[in-house]
Chains A and B, each alone.
Chain A
Amino acid sequence: MLRFLGGRLLHAAGIVFVVATITFVLLQLAPGDPLTRYSESGFVPRSVIEQQRRNFGLDRPIPEQYARYVANLVRGDLGYSFREHRPAWHAIRDRLANTLLLAVAGLTVAFGVGILAGVLQGARPGSRRDDVLSLASLALYSTPVFWLGVMLLLVFGEVLHWFPVSGAVDAVAHTGLSALGRIWDRLMHLALPALTLGLAGAAVIARYQRAAMLEVIGQDFVRSAHAKGLSNRDVLVRHAVRNALLPIVTLFGLAFPILLSGAVLVETVFAWPGMGKLMVDAIQARDYAVVTGATILSAVLVVVGNLLADVLYRTLDPRTRDAVT
């Protein structure tokens, strides 16, 4: 297990390194540099800009800049946010918890709804129920996540007034609430964004879960379970579903990037103060360090998600443990 973990970690670090390098190349290829917006504004004297360029090492040869860039990244320095006048990492860090909260809540909804739908379909393939759910998941898969958010906002926020329409907490009342009230306030604000993100993910997971069920149901041990006289329900719950859940674990790695992409849009729909919203705002202000920092961090999150999925899969399926990976 240790050797497996070591190898995987090395592979993960390699991927992040390549992502960082691609980002650096993109930065070099792009017109202008982080100080362009000051020189373009015309308000900042040329000498000050030259001074700043030297301070940030932007006048150095490119290989040296690259070496510094990598060295800084290793130390966790993502650059300087010119918009917020503080390290980009600090700006991102303050929003990271909100994005992770949204992603985990979305993931829970996605797996819950997706697995349930997939099991219902896979248990009776070709039935009317299967057809209806198949079409529903295909339609959901074809729905832009931000529009789904806007529609949920319209129905549950604007018309029914069940949930608040924006933000992570009530901007006015939150600080005055009791501890329990604050948790409730957060949950109410989380509900619609998490539902939006979760439903979009569920469409993907349901399709895989259905396929996994079909695979398992055709196997000998399921036939044996039927043969020894177990009820349909018992065969399904105790034998088929348990085995069909296994491949779904690998989806954890696949679903995570999709979820993070969706989070950028969902955060914008609901004005959710997360990393994605921060990134979109930073683009408008041409605050490069925050944009590239958030991108590299998103890759780190994906790689960590994949790593977790791998470890989980190995723990759950003893057959893979002895295999050489």
Chain B
Amino acid sequence: MTRWGLTVGDRQAVVGLLMIAVLCAVSVAAPLLTGYDPAAQLDLAERQYAPPSPGHPFGTDFYSRDVLSRVLHGARISLAIAALSVGLSITLGTAVGLTAGLAGGWIDGLLMRFVDAALAVPRVFLVLVIVALWPGIGTLGLILILGLTSWFGASRIVRAETLSLRARPFLQAARALGLRRRHVIGRHVLPNLAAPISVIATIGIGQIILLEAGLSYLGLGVRPPTPSWGQMIAEGQAALRTAPWVAIFPGIAIVVTVLAFSLVGDALRRRLDPRRA
């Protein structure tokens, strides 16, 4: 316990949540916060690779675009993609995990063998093979791909939680009372899964942001001219010596964003599983 009766974990969560709030505010207000259009080529002759200055706090890039406004607009894209794909993957993971845990038998066996296999393929390889087979997908396609390839771990955890819930007396009582299956799942199983699912979702958002940034870095994620952090770093690497700021600032933005979600996810996990704190 520290001041105000908060545990170390709580303090961590408060800091993380504040960071997330600021990030959300920034991405909503991005156009108001900067005087430049992220795609506007300002002045190729005079302002190409302009170093950080009061007019351009993060400098400008190869096309003389303002790096700060691109980083801020990149936050919108990153957060939107992450939120939507995590929503998809959590829904799928919960549905599959619940089905496997409640149905048992061959359905459970089949689903879990599939999940085992999917988890044996390193995540980047799995996403890349799909991106390779469906070239030219847009941002919506990217969200689908990220969501559809990120639910395997979640389904395993949900299944395990469901199995342990099933053995608990209150669920057996609910069944013994003759409650309908849908009622038992909706009122007794799902609410008890909310805690672990919220941990998976919070940590998942950070992971998806990293994955999307990696794909965009490889030139296989968000397509230009939409500004994305990964793609900005790739562009920055081309001029690392002359204009390091082009690669430095979007990277810091990724670290801060992912760290915010890691802090909250970590604090939640400690709260829910005090043994591992």
Digit string of B236-255 for contact with A (CB within 8 Å is 1, else 0)? 11001100100110010011
Instruction: Bin the interface of chain A by size.
Output: 35 or more
Segment from A111-119, A221-229, A285-293 that makes contact with B: A285-293
Chain A residues lying within 8 Å of B233, measured Cβ to Cβ, are: 144, 146-147, 150
Name the one of B128, B131, B259 contacting A138, with C-beta atoms under 8 angstroms: B259
Name the one of A144, A150, A292, A306 contacting B129, with C-beta atoms under 8 angstroms: A292
Chain B residues lying within 8 Å of A31, measured Cβ to Cβ, are: 134
B266 smallest CB distance to A (angstroms): 7
Which single residue of chain A is at the shortest CB-CB distance from B116?
A15
In residues 210-233 of chain B, which contact A (Cβ within 8 Å)? 210, 213-214, 217-220, 230, 233
Whether A139 is near chain B, meaning CB under 8 Å from some CB there, is yes
Whether A309 is near chain B, meaning CB under 8 Å from some CB there, is no
Contact between A279 and B214, CB atoms less than 8 A apart: no
Whether B276 is near chain A, meaning CB under 8 Å from some CB there, is yes
CA of A211 to CA of B248 in the docked complex: distance in angstroms?
A: 33
Q: Which of A15, A23, A26, A144 has the most CB of B within 10 A?
A: A144
Contact between A295 and B126, CB atoms less than 8 A apart: yes
Which single residue of chain B is at the shortest CB-CB distance from A259?
B122
Number of B interface residues in the complex (CB < 8 A): 49
Chain B residues lying within 8 Å of A291, measured Cβ to Cβ, are: 128-129, 132-133
Contact between B259 and A265, CB atoms less than 8 A apart: no
CA of A302 to CA of B124 in the docked complex: distance in angstroms?
A: 13
Name the one of A15, A27, A257 contacting B123, with C-beta atoms under 8 angstroms: A257
Which single residue of chain A is at the shortest CB-CB distance from B135?
A286
Contact between A269 and B237, CB atoms less than 8 A apart: yes
Whether B258 is near chain A, meaning CB under 8 Å from some CB there, is yes
Chain A residues lying within 8 Å of B266, measured Cβ to Cβ, are: 138
Digit string of A53-88 for contact with B (CB within 8 Å is 1, else 0)? 000000000000000000000000000000000000
Whether B113 is near chain A, meaning CB under 8 Å from some CB there, is yes
| Further pairs besides A147-B255, A302-B122: 11, Cβ < 8 Å | A16-B120, A142-B255, A143-B258, A151-B251, A153-B240, A258-B122, A264-B122, A265-B124, A265-B217, A279-B128, A299-B121
24 contacts between A and B (CB under 8 A): A18-B116, A19-B121, A26-B130, A27-B133, A142-B255, A144-B233, A144-B254, A146-B233, A147-B233, A150-B251, A151-B248, A151-B251, A154-B248, A257-B122, A258-B122, A260-B122, A261-B122, A261-B123, A262-B124, A279-B125, A283-B220, A295-B125, A302-B121, A302-B122
Residue ranges of A at the interface with B (Cβ–Cβ < 8 Å): 14-16, 18-19, 22-23, 26-27, 29-31, 131, 138-139, 141-147, 150-151, 153-154, 158, 211, 257-258, 260-262, 264-265, 268-269, 276, 279-280, 282-284, 286, 288, 291-292, 294-295, 298-299, 302-303, 306
Residue ranges of B at the interface with A (Cβ–Cβ < 8 Å): 8, 113-114, 116-126, 128-135, 206, 210, 213-214, 217-220, 230, 233, 236-237, 240-241, 244, 247-248, 251, 254-255, 258-259, 261-263, 266, 276
